[in-house]
C-alpha cells in the first residue's frame, strides 16, 4: 500500500510552522517540529500528518500512529497520547492545503519538447511547458505556467489562461478557457455537437455546429469526458465547476459556478444548470431543462422536467427524493403483502 512513494516522493520534511501557515491555522507551541509527508489516518507514521473528518473512521482515530492529526476540537479527545492535534473547523480543507505544501501542483517552467508541433502564429507564454508530440494550432494563446502534456492537442485559436493543465491525449478546440483549467487525460472539449436534421429521403444532414466552449477559471474536466461546442451560441461551464471522468455535456449546455458533475453523467443539449448544482454518477438530464441553484440530482436519476433551486431529486424519471422514497417503500410493501395473501387483512 506504500507504492505511492514511488510516484510521489514529495518535498518533505517541512517545518510545522510552514504547514500551518499554508492552512491558515494558528497553533500554540511545537514550533520546532517537522513532518515528512501526509498520509491516511490508518497508515500514517510518527513523522506524518493525517486528518480525521468523518465518523466512519472513528475507530481508526484512536489507534492512529500518525505524528499529528488535523481534526475538529470535539474529536481531539479520541487521539492517542503523543499524537499532536491540529485543531480546525474544516479538517479536509486544512489537509488539502498542507498536502499541497509537500506535493505542490506542478506549473510550467518553460520546457518545450523538440517534437512538439507548434504553429508559429501561436502565442505561448515563455513559462509554459509543451510536451512531446503536443500540437498547438495556429493563433492559439497559451498563458503563463500552463502545462501542455505529451500528445495533447490544442486547436487553432483556442485560448488557455494562466496555469492551465492539459493532460496527455486530451484535445481541445473551439474553446476559450480561464485560469487554472484542467483537462484530464483523453478529455474532449469542443467537439461538434450531435446536430442533424432529417431529409425527405430518410437520411440526415449535419447541422453546422458553429458555437464555442467557454470554461471558467478552475474548471476541471475528467478523463475521457466530452464537452461539445455550441450549435449557435456557446456551451458554458462556470467558474470552479468540477466534471468527472466520462461525463458528457451536449451542445449549448450551460453550467453555473461550482457545480459537481460526477462520472458518467449525461447532460443533454441546451440544459441550463445554476450554481452549486450536484449531479451524482450516471444521472441524466434531458435537453432544454432548467435546474435551479444548489439542486441535487441523485445517482442514476433521469431528469425529465425543470428542477427547483435546492431540490433533491431521485429516480428515473426523477422525483423529489421524499416522494421517490415513499414510492419505493409503497412498492416494497405491496410486493411483500402479495406474497402472503392469506394473512393480508386490510390492504
Q: Which of residues 59-88 bind its own copies (CB under 8 A)?
A: none
Rounded to whole angstroms, the Cα distance separating 123 from 145 reads 13
Q: Which CB sits closer to its own copies, 127 or 171?
A: 171
DSSP 11-32: S--EEHHHHHHHHT---SS-TT
311 binds its own copies (CB under 8 A): no
Residue 95 vs 127, nearer CB to its own copies: 95
Nearer to its own copies, 30 or 204 (CB): 204
Place of cell 451536449: 250
Cell triple for residue 217?
477559471
Identity of the residue, 77 or 200, whose beta carbon is nearer to its own copies in the bound complex: 200
Residue 78, classified by CB atoms within 10 Å of its CB into exposed (0-12), middle (13-18) or buried (19+), is middle
Which residues, in sequence order, are bridge partners of residue 249? 227, 267
Q: What is the Cα 21 distance to its own chain's centre?
A: 26
Catalytic residue list: 251
The C-alpha atoms of residue 69 and residue 209 are separated, in whole angstroms, by 52
**# residues near its own copies by CB under 8 A:** 117
Does residue 16 contact residue 102 with C-beta atoms inside 8 Å? no
Quick one: which of 204, 305, 308, 310 contacts its own copies (CB under 8 A)? 204
Q: Based on the shown chain and the rule CB under 8 A, indicate whether residue 25 belongs to the binding site for its own copies.
A: no
Give the x/- contact pattern for its own copies in 261-290, rule: CB under 8 A: -xxx-x-x-------x----xx-x-x-x--
- Site for its own copies contains 317 (CB under 8 A): yes
Min dist CB 304 to its own copies, Å, is 8
Question: Does the protein bind its own copies through residue 168 (CB under 8 A)?
Answer: yes
Pairing between β-strand 123-124 and β-strand 141-142 as defined by DSSP bridges: parallel
Place of cell 505511492: 4
DSSP-assigned beta bridge partners for residue 313? 297, 320
The rounded Cα 132 to chain-centroid distance in angstroms is 26
In the bound complex, what is the minimum distance in angstroms from residue 31's beta carbon to its own copies?
Answer: 25
Q: Do the bridges between strand 226-228 and strand 188-191 make them parallel or antiparallel, or are there none, so unpaired? A: parallel
How many of the other CB atoms lie within 10 Å of CB of 180?
A: 21
- Which one among 128, 183, 214, 255 touches its own copies, defined by CB under 8 A? 214
Question: Which residue lies nearer to its own copies by CB, 143 or 222?
Answer: 222
For its own copies, the binding residue among 14, 127, 163, 248 (CB under 8 A) is: 248
Q: Using the rule CB under 8 A, is 123 a contact of its own copies?
A: no
Distance CA 347, CA 338 (A): 10
Contact window for its own copies (CB under 8 A) among 28-36, 62-70, 75-83, 112-120: 112-120
The least distance separating its own copies from the CB of residue 317, rounded to whole angstroms, comes to: 7
Regarding 138 and contact with its own copies (CB under 8 A), the answer is: no
Q: Considering only residues 17, 21, 185, 289, which one is a binding residue for its own copies as defined by CB under 8 A?
A: 185
Amino acid at each position: 500500500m506504500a507504492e505511492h512513494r514511488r510516484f510521489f516522493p514529495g518535498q518533505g520534511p517541512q517545518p510545522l510552522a510552514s504547514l500551518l501557515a499554508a492552512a491558515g491555522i494558528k497553533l500554540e507551541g511545537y514550533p520546532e517540529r517537522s513532518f515528512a509527508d501526509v498520509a491516511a489516518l490508518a497508515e500514517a507514521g510518527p513523522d506524518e500528518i493525517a486528518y480525521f473528518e468523518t465518523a466512519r473512521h472513528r475507530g481508526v482515530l484512536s489507534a492512529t500512529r500518525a505524528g499529528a492529526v488535523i481534526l475538529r476540537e470535539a474529536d481531539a479527545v479520541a487521539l492517542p497520547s503523543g499524537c499532536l492535534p491540529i485543531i480546525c473547523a474544516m479538517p479536509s480543507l486544512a489537509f488539502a492545503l498542507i498536502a499541497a505544501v509537500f506535493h505542490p501542483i506542478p506549473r510550467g517552467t518553460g520546457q518545450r519538447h523538440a517534437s512538439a508541433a507548434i504553429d508559429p502564429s501561436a502565442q505561448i507564454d515563455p513559462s509554459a511547458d509543451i510536451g512531446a508530440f503536443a500540437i498547438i494550432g495556429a493563433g492559439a494563446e497559451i498563458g503563463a505556467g500552463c502545462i501542455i502534456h505529451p500528445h495533447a492537442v490544442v486547436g487553432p485559436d483556442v485560448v488557455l489562461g494562466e496555469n492551465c493543465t492539459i493532460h496527455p491525449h486530451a484535445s481541445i478546440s473551439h474553446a476559450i478557457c480561464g485560469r487554472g483549467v484542467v483537462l484530464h487525460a483523453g478529455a474532449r472539449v469542443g467537439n461538434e455537437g450531435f446536430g442533424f436534421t432529417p431529409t425527405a429521403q430518410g437520411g440526415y444532414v449535419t447541422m453546422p455546429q458553429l458555437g464555442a466552449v467557454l470554461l471558467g477559471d478552475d474548471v476541471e474536466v475528467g478523463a475521457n469526458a466530452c464537452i461539445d461546442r455550441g450549435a449557435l451560441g456557446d456551451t458554458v461551464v462556470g467558474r470552479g465547476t468540477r466534471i468527472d471522468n466520462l461525463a458528457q455535456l451536449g451542445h449549448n449546455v450551460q453550467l453555473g459556478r461550482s457545480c459537481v458533475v460526477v462520472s458518467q453523467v449525461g447532460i443533454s443539449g441546451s440544459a441550463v444548470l445554476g450554481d452549486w448544482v450536484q449531479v451524482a454518477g450516471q444521472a441524466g438530464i434531458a435537453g432544454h431543462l432548467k435546474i435551479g441553484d444548489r439542486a441535487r440530482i441523485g445517482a442514476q436519476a433521469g431528469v425529465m422536467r425543470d428542477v427547483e433551486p435546492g431540490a433533491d431529486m431521485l429516480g428515473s424519471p426523477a422525483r423529489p427524493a421524499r416522494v421517490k422514497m415513499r414510492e419505493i417503500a409503497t412498492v416494497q410493501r405491496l410486493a411483500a403483502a402479495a406474497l402472503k395473501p392469506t394473512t393480508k387483512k386490510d390492504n
